[in-house]
Amino acid sequence: MGTLQWVILAVVVMAGLGYWNYQRIDGQRKALEGAGFVVSDDLKGNPGLLVSTTQQQIAVLIPTGYLRVGFDQLTHGEIRQDASGEKDSNYRIALILNGASQSEVENRYQDEYQADIAFKKLRNLTSH
Protein backbone atom coordinates (compact mmCIF):
# COMPACT_ATOMS: atom_id res chain seq x y z
CA MET A 1 0.00 0.00 0.00
CA GLY A 2 1.21 3.45 -0.83
CA THR A 3 1.32 6.41 1.52
CA LEU A 4 -1.80 7.98 0.02
CA GLN A 5 -3.78 4.80 0.59
CA TRP A 6 -2.68 4.65 4.25
CA VAL A 7 -3.74 8.27 4.71
CA ILE A 8 -7.13 7.58 3.13
CA LEU A 9 -7.57 4.49 5.30
CA ALA A 10 -6.67 6.47 8.44
CA VAL A 11 -9.19 9.20 7.54
CA VAL A 12 -11.93 6.63 6.92
CA VAL A 13 -11.22 4.87 10.24
CA MET A 14 -11.21 8.18 12.14
CA ALA A 15 -14.48 9.24 10.51
CA GLY A 16 -16.03 5.89 11.40
CA LEU A 17 -14.93 6.18 15.02
CA GLY A 18 -16.22 9.74 15.19
CA TYR A 19 -19.62 8.67 13.86
CA TRP A 20 -19.76 5.72 16.28
CA ASN A 21 -18.94 8.02 19.21
CA TYR A 22 -21.61 10.50 18.11
CA GLN A 23 -24.20 7.70 17.94
CA ARG A 24 -23.19 6.44 21.40
CA ILE A 25 -23.46 9.90 22.98
CA ASP A 26 -26.78 10.51 21.23
CA GLY A 27 -28.06 7.19 22.60
CA GLN A 28 -27.00 8.15 26.13
CA ARG A 29 -28.79 11.47 25.84
CA LYS A 30 -31.96 9.81 24.54
CA ALA A 31 -31.85 7.28 27.40
CA LEU A 32 -31.48 10.15 29.89
CA GLU A 33 -34.40 12.04 28.39
CA GLY A 34 -36.40 8.79 28.28
CA ALA A 35 -35.82 8.47 32.03
CA GLY A 36 -37.55 11.83 32.49
CA PHE A 37 -34.66 14.30 32.44
CA VAL A 38 -35.75 17.61 30.90
CA VAL A 39 -32.77 19.39 29.31
CA SER A 40 -32.92 23.14 29.76
CA ASP A 41 -29.25 23.86 29.05
CA ASP A 42 -26.54 21.95 27.19
CA LEU A 43 -23.13 23.10 28.42
CA LYS A 44 -21.35 20.89 25.87
CA GLY A 45 -17.95 19.61 26.96
CA ASN A 46 -16.62 16.10 26.80
CA PRO A 47 -18.35 14.19 28.26
CA GLY A 48 -21.56 16.15 27.74
CA LEU A 49 -22.81 18.30 30.61
CA LEU A 50 -26.56 18.91 30.75
CA VAL A 51 -28.67 20.93 33.17
CA SER A 52 -32.36 20.74 34.05
CA THR A 53 -33.39 23.88 35.89
CA THR A 54 -36.96 22.67 36.32
CA GLN A 55 -35.80 19.48 38.04
CA GLN A 56 -32.82 21.13 39.74
CA GLN A 57 -30.49 18.44 38.34
CA ILE A 58 -27.24 18.06 36.43
CA ALA A 59 -26.45 15.14 34.14
CA VAL A 60 -23.09 14.08 32.77
CA LEU A 61 -23.00 11.71 29.81
CA ILE A 62 -20.34 9.20 30.89
CA PRO A 63 -19.05 6.23 28.85
CA THR A 64 -21.30 3.75 30.67
CA GLY A 65 -24.45 5.86 30.37
CA TYR A 66 -25.06 8.96 32.43
CA LEU A 67 -24.62 10.37 35.91
CA ARG A 68 -27.60 12.32 37.20
CA VAL A 69 -27.35 14.41 40.39
CA GLY A 70 -29.36 17.09 42.12
CA PHE A 71 -28.12 20.63 42.53
CA ASP A 72 -27.94 19.91 46.28
CA GLN A 73 -25.34 17.17 45.62
CA LEU A 74 -22.99 19.64 43.92
CA THR A 75 -20.55 20.70 46.62
CA HIS A 76 -18.68 23.03 44.27
CA GLY A 77 -17.16 23.30 40.83
CA GLU A 78 -13.89 24.64 39.53
CA ILE A 79 -11.98 25.17 36.31
CA ARG A 80 -8.82 23.11 36.05
CA GLN A 81 -6.01 23.18 33.53
CA ASP A 82 -2.66 21.56 32.93
CA ALA A 83 0.37 23.78 32.64
CA SER A 84 2.74 22.51 29.98
CA GLY A 85 5.66 24.80 29.26
CA GLU A 86 4.61 28.23 28.15
CA LYS A 87 1.01 27.34 27.37
CA ASP A 88 -1.80 26.11 29.61
CA SER A 89 -3.93 23.38 28.12
CA ASN A 90 -6.54 20.71 28.84
CA TYR A 91 -9.19 23.03 30.26
CA ARG A 92 -11.95 21.28 32.17
CA ILE A 93 -14.71 21.86 34.67
CA ALA A 94 -14.45 19.67 37.75
CA LEU A 95 -17.69 19.00 39.62
CA ILE A 96 -17.19 17.95 43.25
CA LEU A 97 -20.19 15.88 44.30
CA ASN A 98 -21.59 14.66 47.60
CA GLY A 99 -23.74 11.53 47.85
CA ALA A 100 -23.37 10.57 44.18
CA SER A 101 -21.94 7.36 42.70
CA GLN A 102 -18.81 9.36 41.81
CA SER A 103 -17.33 11.99 44.09
CA GLU A 104 -15.86 14.00 41.22
CA VAL A 105 -16.38 14.27 37.49
CA GLU A 106 -14.54 16.37 34.91
CA ASN A 107 -15.76 17.78 31.61
CA ARG A 108 -13.11 18.81 29.08
CA TYR A 109 -13.38 21.88 26.88
CA GLN A 110 -11.62 23.01 23.73
CA ASP A 111 -10.04 26.07 25.31
CA GLU A 112 -10.11 28.39 28.31
CA TYR A 113 -12.78 30.62 26.78
CA GLN A 114 -15.26 27.75 26.26
CA ALA A 115 -14.60 26.34 29.75
CA ASP A 116 -15.08 29.77 31.33
CA ILE A 117 -18.37 30.40 29.53
CA ALA A 118 -19.74 26.97 30.52
CA PHE A 119 -18.57 27.35 34.13
CA LYS A 120 -20.12 30.79 34.55
CA LYS A 121 -23.39 29.53 33.10
CA LEU A 122 -23.30 26.47 35.39
CA ARG A 123 -22.70 28.68 38.45
CA ASN A 124 -25.53 30.97 37.41
CA LEU A 125 -27.95 28.08 36.89
CA THR A 126 -27.09 26.17 40.06
CA SER A 127 -26.18 29.09 42.36
CA HIS A 128 -22.95 27.28 43.32
Secondary structure (H, E, C), 67-120: EEEEHHHEEEEEEEEEEECCEEEEEEEEEEECCCCCCEEEEECCCHHHHHHHHH
In total, how many domains does the chain have?
1
Q: What confidence tens digit (pLDDT) does each residue in 82-104 have?
A: 876 556 678 999 999 999 888 99
Q: Are 59 and 32 in contact (CB under 8 A)?
A: yes
Q: Which CATH number characterizes residue 81's domain?
A: 2.30.29
Residue range 4-23, pLDDT digits in tens:
888 888 888 888 877 776 66
Range of the domain at 83: 3-126
0.75 exceeded by pTM: yes
